[in-house]
Chains A and B, each alone.
Chain A
Amino acid sequence: MTRPLLALSLDSETDLVLVRQQARRIAELVGFDRQDQTRIAAATSELARAALGGGGGSVDFRIDGGETDQALAIAIRGRLRPEIAEASAAEPAGRGGPSGIAAARRLMDHYDLTAEPGGGHAILVQKRLPRNRRVGADRMREIGETVRREPGGDALELLREQNHELVLSFAELRSRQEELQRLNRELEDTNRGIVALYSELDQKAEQLREASELKSRFLSYVSHEFRTPLNSILGLTRILLDRLDGDLSAEQERQVVYIRQSADSLTELVNDLLDLAKVEAGRLELKPTVFAVADLFAALRGALKPLLTTSAVDLVLEIAPGMPRLRTDEGKVGQILRNLISNALKFTEAGGVRVEASVGPTGTVVFSVADTGIGIAPEHLDKIFEEFSQVDGPLQRRQKGTGLGLPLSRKLAQLMGGSLDVESAVGEGSLFRLTLPAAVAVGDDPIAPPKNRPPSAAAVRRRVLVVDDEPAFRYLVRQALRDVADIDILEAADGGAAVSALADVVPDLVLLDLEMPMLDGFGVLAAVRRDPRLRAVPVVVATSHPITADLKARLPGVDALLPKSALDRAAILEALGLAEAIGRRETLGLAEALGWTETSP
């Protein structure tokens, strides 16, 4: 049983001190008394010094022996100087010699010197453990661990190792740092490049914006300039056709008619261009009015009839039940639909064009224009909404177009907060779908909207309450509506008067000023909206304040907001949703025209 407790190398005087200190420590741990600890340490010191004198070596500590008689064994290997080796062999135990080896022998129980092959020597000394002392395997491992942990033991070696590792780590760290710095520099360079690129991009974007602006201005300018000579041409052809300057021969008439047709289509193109430029410049403004889809369709049917050149194509316009009246720009909706329908008619040789208005999801209305025409290939579906693009094909070549209709239509739809989409397949026709926010049915009961307006209203007198502290304004309204039959104008000079008037009468319309002494327009509006009797009464606010989104937000439930400065008969009627009706049906009385609220017969 010769497991070493500790192995030390012996190369310097420091090692020598270490060896004897560890020898004492091991002796203590193994269980020797103080005296023997000193003896063992001194003996080890002597022997180690002898080995060191010969050039160094090594020292092993271990426990030898069996179950009953254990001994601490110290084996020293080294190359002893010849004279010392000889003297040691010759010296009898018990006499102190010059080498100290003999002295050491006396301190220990067993001594053995053997020459090793190659000129080295091995000295083994042993000291029996005190009686009743036994070192088991566990204890041995424990002792080994203890002495190795102590400074000077393997700990020194450990420290050296750690130092070395530390140096290596430092080197690695330094190289990493350098790498990082290099990367950093690279990144900085890249960053500078990106910043430069960005500013270049900004510049480009600015140039593009300017170019776009210029294009819009050019378009608008050119369109304006084109319109003047066009109007002259149209006027002159009209004069010719009206025979104001004498008769035309049949041939001449045909020629002039062609001239006029060309001028007409040119006018159309110029108008489209102008609209497009306006939309792009953001100068196209919406003029929302309240109108019924039926009226719009009636006008469309009239306008498009001339395009129905063949009986092989039917044009059907239908309104789905439950369609509310809309508040949006009727002119622009009409423009879009005209465009879609005339397109559909152009590219349909047989079958039909079906126009349908229906209620869409979440307060929208959907106008769909379906045809049975040539259809559009999938790759062209996006292209058709680009300006000046036309799909090539025999039918397309026959049918002239500007390539502006669809892009303009889509822009107008977006301007009104809606969208224009298309579904199509070649040979199966196309379906254009115009979706617009609609839920602006003034005064209509949303649960049971009227299917149709009554063709002629009962002769019920309508009452309009004008609330304004300015007599001039009240007078203006009275004058504006003077020639409209069956209408009563009620006047209130301030908010209080208005509220008390409203207590007696439920008017068909309230025309309300905002700035008033005492109870102002906001207060009156709140009172009207609080009263369940009055909740359905349409309120139109006329104000001299600038009309801003902020102001609109402060006036919930107001059906229209119009500036006083622009107030005239037409504006009032338009705001009341009557302009179109009046314009189309001059003969109708206001009683019928004032159809905001549905009074079932």
Chain B
Amino acid sequence: MDRIPILKMGSALLVTIQVDMQDRLAMALEEDLTTRIAQTGARGVLIDISSLEIVDSFIGRMLDSIAAVSRLLDARTVVVGMRPAVAITLVELGLTLTGVATALDVERGMALLGERIAGAEGFDAGDIL
């Protein structure tokens, strides 16, 4: 079965979902991502869903779940490029993805990630000092 490719950019991982995922593919992505975070010690995950036209409750919950697991592994997740129609539909489905940070596009998502990683480090450093 196909896998969604995961790219490493510095201390962040970049996932671009370009196909309408089967449920199994989405679950595999969650597995792959958690493995890679553990391997690389990545601090952030950027998931680009700009190609997705349909996000149903399963995919929504999957994104939520990925964000939650990553957080436990000390990585921040930002979902970028969500289409307005998808966002509306997700809300109407009752999925607000409260655990997932979002950004409008990849650039802003990276910026957000950097800010958070730096902020966390700064906070940690300050905490220790």
List residues of A whose CB falls within 8 A of some B CB.
13-14, 16-17, 20-21, 24, 34-35, 37-39, 41-42, 45-46, 49, 95-96, 100, 103-104, 106-107
Contacts and interface: CB of A to CB of B under 8 A. Distances in A.
* Residue from B55, B57, B83, B94 with most neighbouring chain A CB atoms (10 Å): B57
Given A16-B23, A21-B20, A34-B85, A49 B95 contact: no
23 contacts: A13-B22, A13-B23, A16-B22, A16-B23, A17-B22, A20-B20, A20-B54, A24-B54, A35-B84, A38-B85, A39-B85, A39-B92, A41-B54, A46-B93, A49-B58, A96-B94, A100-B56, A100-B57, A103-B92, A103-B95, A106-B92, A107-B92, A107-B93
A103 B85 contact: no
B53 A39 contact: no
B89 interface: yes
Contact of B20 (A17, A49, A95, A100): A17
Contacts of B9: none
Interface in B89-111: 89, 92-95
B95 A96 contact: yes
B33 to A, nearest CB: 20
Contacts of A100: 56-58, 93
B89 to A, nearest CB: 5
Contact of B94 (A14, A41, A103): A103
Nearest to A34: B85
Contacts of A24: 53-54
A41 B24 CA distance: 19
A155 B94 CA distance: 35
Given A16-B23, A35-B84, A39-B88, 4 more contacts: A24-B53, A34-B85, A46-B58, A100-B58
A46 B95 CA distance: 13
Interface residues of B, number: 21
A439 to B, nearest CB: 99
A546 to B, nearest CB: 95
Nearest to A45: B56
B95 A38 contact: no
The 4 closest A-B pairs by CB, nearest first: A96-B94, A45-B56, A38-B85, A13-B22
Given A95-B94, A96-B94, A39 B22 contact: no
B89 A38 contact: yes
B54 to A, nearest CB: 4
Contacts of A39: 85, 88-89, 92
A41 B92 contact: no
A37 B53 CA distance: 9
A441 B95 CA distance: 127
Contacts of B4: none
A46 to B, nearest CB: 5
B17 interface: no
B86 interface: yes
Contacts, number: 74
A153 to B, nearest CB: 14
B81 to A, nearest CB: 15
A104 B56 CA distance: 9
B57 A46 contact: yes
Interface string B71-91: 000000000000111101100
Q: Is chain A's binding surface mostly helix, strand, loop or mixed?
A: helix
B23 A49 contact: yes
Nearest to B96: A96
Nearest to B24: A13
Nearest to B22: A13
Interface string B19-36: 011111000000000000
B94 A42 contact: no
A42 B89 contact: yes
Contact of A103 (B55, B88, B93): B93
A46 B94 CA distance: 13
Contacts of A41: 53-54, 56
A110 to B, nearest CB: 16
A17 B95 CA distance: 20
Contacts of B89: 35, 38-39, 42, 107
A41 B88 CA distance: 13
Nearest to A96: B94
A96 to B, nearest CB: 3
A46 B56 contact: yes
Contacts of B23: 13, 16, 49
B93 A35 contact: no
A42 B24 contact: no
Interface in B1-56: 20-24, 53-56
A38 B54 contact: yes
Contacts of A42: 54-57, 89, 93
Contacts of B93: 42, 46, 96, 100, 103-104, 106-107
Nearest to B26: A13
A16 B53 CA distance: 15
* Residue from B23, B56, B86 with most neighbouring chain A CB atoms (10 Å): B56
A96 B54 contact: no
Contacts of A107: 89, 92-93
A16 B59 CA distance: 13
Nearest to B56: A45
A42 B88 CA distance: 11
A34 B89 CA distance: 11
A38 B57 contact: no
Nearest to B55: A42
* Residue from B22, B84, B86, B92 with most neighbouring chain A CB atoms (10 Å): B92
A292 B18 CA distance: 115
Contacts of A21: 20, 54
Contact of B57 (A17, A35, A96): A96
A338 B117 CA distance: 138
A103 B93 CA distance: 5
A260 B85 CA distance: 138
Given A16-B23, A17-B22, A49 B92 contact: no
B17 to A, nearest CB: 13
B54 A45 contact: yes
Contacts of B55: 42
A360 B46 CA distance: 115
Nearest to A20: B54
A383 B22 CA distance: 98
B57 A103 contact: yes
A425 to B, nearest CB: 101
B20 A38 contact: no
A24 B52 CA distance: 12
A104 B84 CA distance: 18
A426 to B, nearest CB: 103
A38 B24 contact: no
